[in-house]
Amino acid sequence: MLLWLRLGWDYNRECPFPKLLIQRKTTTTATQDIYCYGGMTDADYNDVSSLLNDGVNPREGKVARQSLKRKATDYIIINEKLCKKEGDATLIVVKKGEELRHIERVHLETGHGGRDVCLEKLKKGYYWNRMKHDIVHFIAHCHQCQLNRTALSTQNNELRPVRPPRQPCTMVQPADSSMRNDLMIIGTIYVVSPLLLVPFQIRIIYIFLAQNEFKALQCFKIMAMISMANISYGLCFVPMGITILTQNGLNGFTLGAFKLWMASWAAILALDLALAVNRLRLICNFHFLWTIGKYLHFAALIYPLTVFLTLLTPLAGIVFLDDKVFFTYDFHKPLSDVVRRVHGIHNLFCVTATLLVYISISVYLITQKCKHKAIGMSSSERTVVIQAAVKFSANMFVLVTMNFFGQFFQQSVWAMTAIPLFQIVNLLCLPLIVYIGFNRSLQKIFFRKKLNTFVLTTVVTPIRA
């Protein structure tokens, strides 16, 4: 390799590799670097311009013509200049050989401000491939930029010790009163809401597992397990709320609750998928899905347990942010990033697969109705579709906002807590509305028992006393 760099290599004849970014040239004084800048070649520039201006594709061959046609969709002609479309902006395309002139001009305008300033200004108006690499190379060979960088990184004045204040309370500014009030409200909601809604979830679980008309069906057993995961998920907010109110980590108990919170959320999504497969098997009479459903049911229990135990080990974990309101992964531990990626992929897969299953159910029902010339759907079929649509919409909203709009929800404390607050409603309140609102038999049992208990405790007992 060293001999090849010293003597050079005839690229056109022998070199099997792409052309090097940097070629070496030997002079009488020293060995200098010749940098190959980016930019669109004249041939590509003229071909794209010809296709956009005249509608003439100058390439020969079907593949080459299709490639140019696809490439031209990203460009547009403005004032006889080829521009690239980047979202809402249009950037002037720089041809090969002109990029150095633009870098030099902007570099001088910024007053030798360095790489980031030059790149930020150039990418707002111009486009060429490898722009960042070209600017990095140019700035690295600018003597004044290196001097400015050294001056900025050098400490001008000698550090001197400062005498601490007499009163410790003067060291830290008191928290803003409005911020403190917001945290008090959020912490109270985190503590009170689960404690109020969990008893209703327990009531639903008891009905699904104790009543003969429900416990005989596999789907209601899965729904009972989903309600158990909802309870586990909701109760994790209680120590979080206490930590927000007291600014105390409760000796690591809150971090453990948040780890259980993550595992419960994974279990809920996996059990939703198992429930969807069970409904597909029953409605469409696909008996082979019985085995798949059992494996999904088993995985819905094993994976969350694995995530929870992994987060408890020293290999992965989570930490508080400065305000003790939110959490983040502890990336100092080796498996934290792996858990984050796997957890995100698992959640997106479960929601997507659940959507596909319910789409398959809807298509099957529509096909059967058209085949038998029936109108409308039965009450049970309509209930399944509505329940699935409501639950999927809520879960998908949470996943999309968490994965794609995280920066938007970091503008204020209330914006950042919007997703957890919605999750409390989604997992503790929404299932009650869906189950009771669309199932008349469950509705009668739920309210009849509650009414009898109310009458017994408020009327009969005082009379007997």
DSSP letters for 379-411? HHHHHHHHHHHHHHHHHHHHHHHHHHSTTGGGS
CA atoms within 13 A on the CB side of 270: 25
Phi, psi of 461 (to 5 degrees): -60, -45
The answer to whether residue 24 scores a pLDDT higher than 50 is: no
Which position has the higher pLDDT, 425 or 396?
425
> Is 102 in contact with 138 (CB distance < 8 Å)?
no
Q: pLDDT band for 21, please (50, 70, 90 cuts).
A: very low
Please, how many CA atoms are within 13 Å of residue 452, restricted to the half-sphere of its CB? 5
Which DSSP helix (H) or strand (E) runs through 221? helix 218-235
Q: Does domain 179-464 have CATH number 1.20.1070.10?
A: yes
Residue 367 pLDDT: 83
CATH 2.70.98.10 fits 42-149, yes or no: no
> Which has the closest alpha carbon to 311: 271, 352, 252?
252
463 pLDDT higher than 50: no
Q: Which two tokens stand for residue 4?
A: 């090849």
pLDDT at 387: 73
Cβ(394)–Cβ(314) below 8 Å = no
The closest of 207, 209, 205 to 226, measured between CA atoms, is 205
Is there a shared CATH topology between the 42-149 domain and the 179-464 domain?
no
Provide the residue ranges of all domains of the chain, joining segments of one domain with +. Answer: 42-149, 179-464
Q: What is the mean pLDDT of residues 181-198?
A: 84
| pLDDT, tens only, 325-366 | 567 778 788 888 888 889 889 888 888 898 888 888 888 888
Reported pTM = 0.55
Is residue 36 scored above 60 in pLDDT? yes
**Contact in structure between 250 and 239 (CB atoms under 8 Å):** yes
Q: Cβ neighbours of residue 94 under 8 Å, at least 6 residues apart?
A: 39, 40, 102, 126, 127, 128
Q: How far is CA 296 from CA 89, 303, 350, in A?
A: 46, 10, 10
Residue type (1 letter), 449: K
Sign of CA dihedral 228, 232, 235, 237: negative
C-beta separation of 270 from 300 below 8 A: yes
Q: How confident is the model at residue 377 (pLDDT cuts 50, 70, 90)?
A: low
Sign for the CA dihedral angle at 180, 185, 190, 195 comes to: positive
